[in-house]
């Protein structure tokens, strides 16, 4: 029991709220296969909108729209290079998600390690009364 609640212990409520807002945007952004493909491409190195549009057989405005969603979710940032605006992965956004998942796992592991001890105690008591 407890599920998603567990990881929330670790951070203050305020921090949690901020994190959740960002994560919600990040998860929404990741729900789209094209945007995941864009992220996978950017994981290999920065790229311009043109370079990103090529393999996806999509128009530039369509790619730009996807990039906008990714930027707003904090997953992608842009750099100014003359007239070009190459995009790259934003480390923080990706790390926040990893953190979220890791915290859930860690808190559950902690809970169940504790439950192991509690169960051992229960078994011990039962054997005594038998």
Q: Which residues bind other proteins (CB under 8 A)?
A: 1-10, 12-13, 16-17, 24, 26-31, 36-37, 39-40, 43-44, 89, 91, 94-95, 97-98, 101-102, 104-112, 114-120, 122-123
Q: Least CB distance from residue 60 to other proteins, whole Å?
A: 22
- Least separation in angstroms between residue 15's CB and other proteins is 11
Who contacts 22 (Cβ-Cβ below 8 Å, separation ≥6)? 73, 74, 93, 96
- Which CB atom, from 62 or from 119, has the smaller least distance to other proteins? 119
Alpha-helix runs per DSSP H in the chain: 13-30, 33-43, 49-56, 60-72, 91-129
d(CA 100, CA 20): 9
């Amino acid at each position: 029991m407890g599920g998603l609640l567990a990881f929330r212990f670790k951070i203050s409520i305020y921090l949690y709220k901020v994190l959740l807002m960002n994560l919600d945007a990040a998860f929404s952004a990741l729900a789209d296969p094209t945007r995941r493909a864009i992220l996978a491409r950017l994981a290999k190195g920065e790229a311009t909108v043109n370079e990103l549009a090529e393999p996806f057989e999509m128009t530039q405005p369509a790619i730009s729209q996807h990039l906008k969603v990714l930027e707003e979710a904090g997953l992608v940032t842009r750099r100014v290079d003359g007239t070009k605006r190459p995009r790259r992965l934003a480390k923080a956004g990706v790390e926040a998600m990893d953190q979220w998942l890791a915290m859930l796992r860690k808190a559950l592991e902690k809970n169940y390690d504790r439950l192991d001890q509690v169960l051992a105690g229960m078994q011990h008591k039962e054997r005594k009364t038998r």
